[in-house]
Amino acid sequence: MIISVLMMGINRIQISLRFFLFLFFSVSTTFAQQKSEKLELADEYFKRGNYEKALELYEDLKGNPATDKKLFSNYLACLDKLKPTKAEAASKKFLKRYPHDIFYFLNHYKRILEIEHKPEEAGKFAESKLMPLFLKSSQGVTDGFVFFEDAKDTVRSEQILDQGIRRFGLVNFWELRLEKDLRQKHFKEAAEMLVKIIAGKLLPDSELESKLQEKIALSEFSKQMQIALLRQIQAEPGNNSYPSFLAWIYMQKGDYEGALKQYLSLDLLDNNGGIRCFQLAEFAVNSEEEKAAIKSYEAIIRNFPNSQYRFLSQQKCMQLREQGVRNTFPVNKNDVRELIHEYQELGNSQYLNAWELTMKVAELYGKYLNRPDSAILVLDGSMKAMRWPPVFLNRGKIMLGDMYLLQDEPWEASLLYGQVEKDEAESIVGYEAKLKNAKVFYYKGDFELCKELLDVLKQSTSRDISNDAIELGLLIQDIMAEDTTGFFLSKFAEIDLLTYQGNYPESIDRIEKMAFTTSNPVVMEKLRFRLFRNYEATRQFDKALAELDQIYKVKASDLYLDDALFYSGIIYTEHKKDKEKAMEFFLMLIKEKPGSVYVAEARKRLRQLRGDFAN
């Protein structure tokens, strides 16, 4: 019974307590809502210029931490308009009420400076009140620096930055210090500060380099950095950080020779096989600085003969030389001879298979020294002197056939192509040989036999070979429709053979003369495409673009439209260095010719030009 009475009493107390709490929170919520509504009303009065009513409401609201920051500025503005003598005292009351809240101190400082126009008093206030508050944390120092910079108080922005560096360390503020020094053109001071960071290894090299990427472009800053680093290299010759960073600066400035000098000395010191030189060479290749890349690879070959990078450097060096030979017109024959010698030396080193090297040497003799007879001797002699594996033998026979064609012995070429066709009837190499054989018949005017082979090749599993067969087949079809005697087509064949043999001036002359004899737009389109090919081979890129432009604008047929767009994009990318124009052509290709064989490559190049692969 007693327990029941007690339980009933406890229940009544709990119910009363819940009611009291409900009532308390309800009243509190209502009170807060009323405050908020009153603040909104005060702000509305203020906007309308009714400062008396606004001030009356602000006076009633102030003293509450929840609303003081919201009303502070408008409240003091009302006092300035209605009771200016009381405004400063009111601002100071907020400072006493909130001694650790920098918001009020910052506003009071601005008030002294901008409203009361007392710069000396503002300075004293900043020294005694603001600076100690800002210096409580590294973030506070950053905030203080930005505040004083915005307030055009450069003296105090300098002071707080210096004190912050002493208190929290340079690593927290070096970017602010650098920005300020560069803005004031204090390049020497900026360079000396960065040398301290490098010396103390305060930041990883990659992070420092990333953040200086754009700033190092300032020539005077770059110069002062180089001076400061060279001085440190002399003072501390055993510290690798300085020459390494100096080399990076040289790279950004495009001074690959200076970078190579620093990296080579470091690699020799570390006896690491030339890894830095190799990385420099790769960077130069990606930056399309082939000559600088070759020098870096040569430094490895010369200074690190037993390095793991030596043979790879030799290969890459020769690839770049070969690329230079292919992309130069007229050909520098001394460069070709030097490259042939290097390939022969590499063959003697037994690093690469002899068959690949023999074919490279033969190609250089035949196509670039215009000595197909020497190429035939090299290939024929090698095939007789050693046993060639079938995979290389048939490729070698194709090249030997090419050399006979260059030497105007088409039937010798046809015989070799036929042997490869028979040996590899269902392979890509076999199809390639069949296409070359079809072209021999085309060059020599046997158009019917040529068409028979092309009809077979149109079903080839290789898209490139199939498209080449279709293109040549359409040429024969279109020209024969214009002239059934075959005379006109034989002139096309002569032009194509001259182009294949590298006799570009004669080929261009014949095309231009032939253009005067036709009014057929389809035939003219085919002539323009041949002009483009010859101008491209002779590095006359403006003329090449003009021919492609005409092909696209006239649209005589559908055959070369995708070629015109794609190759225009290539020329603007690789030779004119005009990214915007290149992207324009690749986009046109993707939109207008979505089924083209070039679309996949166009998409890839478009992404590269947009920078989609930058990271």
pLDDT at 28: 43
Give the pLDDT confidence of 544-565 residue by residue, as tens digits.
999 999 999 999 988 899 999 9
Query: For 53-76, b where at least 16 C-beta lie within 10 A, e where not — what string?
Result: ebbebbeebbeeeebbebbbebbb
Give the pLDDT confidence of 178-207 residue by residue, as tens digits.
999 999 999 999 999 999 999 989 999 889
Please name the residues in contact with 587: beta carbons below 8 A apart, sequence gap of 6 or more.
606
Q: Is residue 128 part of a domain?
A: no
Could you tell me the CATH number of the domain that includes residue 540?
A: 1.25.40.10
pLDDT at 19: 46
The DSSP symbol for 67 reads T
11-20, 309-318, 367-376, 588-597: which range is least confident on average? 11-20
Query: For 333-372, b where at least 16 C-beta lie within 10 A, e where not — what string?
Result: eebbeebbebbeebbeeeebeebebbbbbbbbbbbbebbb
Domain boundary, last residue among 65, 98, 131:
98
Neighbours of 41 (CB within 10 A): 13
> Highest mean pLDDT: which of 120-129, 423-432, 505-514?
505-514
Residues 395-408 have a mean pLDDT of 96
Residue 154 has pLDDT above 50, yes or no: yes
The residue with tokens 């008030």 is: 111
Q: How confident is the model at residue 231 (pLDDT cuts 50, 70, 90)?
A: very high
pLDDT at 217: 86
Q: Is residue 363 part of a domain?
A: no
Task: Give the integer Cα–Cα distance in Å for 493 and 499.
Answer: 10
Task: Give the integer Cα–Cα distance in Å for 573 and 580.
Answer: 9
Residue 113 has pLDDT above 70, yes or no: yes
Give the pLDDT confidence of 526-541 residue by residue, as tens digits.
999 999 999 999 999 9
Q: How many domains does the chain fold into?
A: 2
Give the pLDDT confidence of 3-33 residue by residue, as tens digits.
554 455 556 655 555 544 444 444 344 545 6
The residue with tokens 């900043």 is: 126
Give the pLDDT confidence of 460-493 residue by residue, as tens digits.
667 888 889 999 999 999 889 888 888 889 999 9
Q: Taking the chain, what is the end-to-end CA distance rounded to the nearest angstrom? A: 81
Answer left, alpha or beta for residue 555, where phi above 0 means left and psi between -120 and 50 means alpha. left
Instruction: Considering only residues 440 and 19, tell me which one the structure prediction assigns the higher pLDDT.
Output: 440
Domain boundary, last residue among 53, 69, 98:
98
pLDDT at 119: 84
The candidate with the shortest Cα–Cα distance to 581, out of 532, 539, 541, is: 541
Residues 319-345 have a mean pLDDT of 89
Q: Is residue 262 part of a domain?
A: no
Task: Give the integer Cα–Cα distance in Å for 374 and 115.
Answer: 93
Domain boundary, last residue among 83, 98, 113:
98
- Full domain range(s) for residue 512: 503-610
Residue 572 Cα distances to 323, 356, 568, 585, 590, angstroms: 19, 33, 6, 9, 17
Q: Is residue 284 part of a domain?
A: no
The DSSP symbol for 170 reads G
Q: Is residue 508 part of a domain?
A: yes
Give the pLDDT confidence of 202-213 residue by residue, as tens digits.
999 889 999 998
pLDDT at 121: 86
Q: Is residue 74 part of a domain?
A: yes
pLDDT at 21: 45
DSSP per residue over 492-520, as a string? Answer: HHHHHHHHHTT-HHHHHHHHHHHHTT---
pLDDT at 23: 42
Give the pLDDT confidence of 279-300 residue by residue, as tens digits.
999 999 998 899 999 999 999 9
Task: Give the integer Cα–Cα distance in Å for 572 and 605.
Answer: 12
% of the chain surpassing 70 pLDDT: 93
Q: How confident is the model at residue 352 (pLDDT cuts 50, 70, 90)?
A: low
Residue 267 buriedness (CB in 10 A; 0-12 / 13-18 / 19+): buried
Residue 401 has pLDDT above 70, yes or no: yes
Helix (H, G, I), strand (E, B) or coil at 66: coil
Is 201 within 8 Å of 241 (Cβ atoms)? yes
To the nearest whole number, what is the mean pLDDT of the chain? Answer: 88
Task: Give the integer Cα–Cα distance in Å for 382 and 388.
Answer: 9
Query: For 492-508, b where at least 16 C-beta lie within 10 A, e where not — what string?
Result: bbbbbbbbebbbbeebb
Residue 594 has pLDDT above 90, yes or no: yes
pLDDT at 13: 55
Instruction: Considering only residues 365 and 88, tell me which one the structure prediction assigns the higher pLDDT.
Output: 365
% of the chain surpassing 90 pLDDT: 57
Q: Is residue 597 part of a domain?
A: yes
Q: Is residue 24 part of a domain?
A: yes
